[in-house]
Amino acid sequence: MKTTSGSQAEGDLCAQTSVPAPRTVILVGFMGAGKTSVGRILGQRLGYLFEDLDDRIQARERRTIQQIFHDSGETEFRRAEQAALRELIAEAGGARIVALGGGAFVQAANAALIRDSGAVVVFLDAPVEELYRRCEQEARERPLRQDRERFRQLYEARKPHYAAAAMRVDTSGKDVDSVATEIMTGLGIR
């Protein structure tokens, strides 16, 4: 499994830096990458709380992501997303795994909040064709999933932002358990 590009630092992040397991792990990546599915399994395995930021947004706004996009537009959604992320980061509490929506980490202010929080960011990735296929197979509506070409363009525009993560894990052709194991290994958690 692939992790952060570059050197031998790709393998065992915590063991190589002699730091304890992170208190907060944030999963980022494009729609269809498996952030929520992997996050749930990872949280269970580690005994960490799991939270999907989109669920928090919907609870705060008392409407679905689709309704926010439809009624108020993407700008209002991004405002609500940043407020929810700011709230989540400000909360004291136990260890947790957080899955972000596909565009959250792309926003500079959100990336700065996350960086300043000390959370470890893990980028879940797969080839764009596989991500599109996964999204097509879901019953869930995704406001920014349009035709295949626009999907690819959005992925390509966002990918450089995701690359700022501490670790990259390729999820293509893998089940969620395998991906969770790879993240744990990369973080030096046995």
Tens digit of pLDDT for each residue in 160-190? Answer: 999 999 999 999 999 999 999 999 999 988 7
pTM: 0.85
Distance of CA 56 to the CA centre of its chain: 14
Beta bridge partners of residue 167, listed in sequence order: 122
**How much is the pLDDT for 35?**
96
pLDDT band, residue 123 (cuts 50/70/90): very high
H or E segment and range at residue 96: strand 96-99
Contact 103, 30 (CB under 8 A): no
Integer Cα distance of 162 and 103 in angstroms: 10
Average pLDDT, the chain: 86
Here the tokens at position 86 are 């700011």
Per residue in 92-103, pLDDT tens?
777 999 999 999
Tokens standing for 94? 């136990």
Instruction: Give me the domains of the chain, ranges plus CATH numbers.
Output: 8-53+96-186 (3.40.50.300)
- Give 72: exposed, middle or buried? Use CB within 10 Å, 0-12, 13-18, 19+: middle
Per-residue buried b or exposed e for 139-176, using 16+ beta carbons within 10 Å of the residue's own CB: eeebbbbeeeeebeebbeebeebbeebbbbbbbeebeb
CA-based nearest residue to 145, from 28, 32, 29: 32
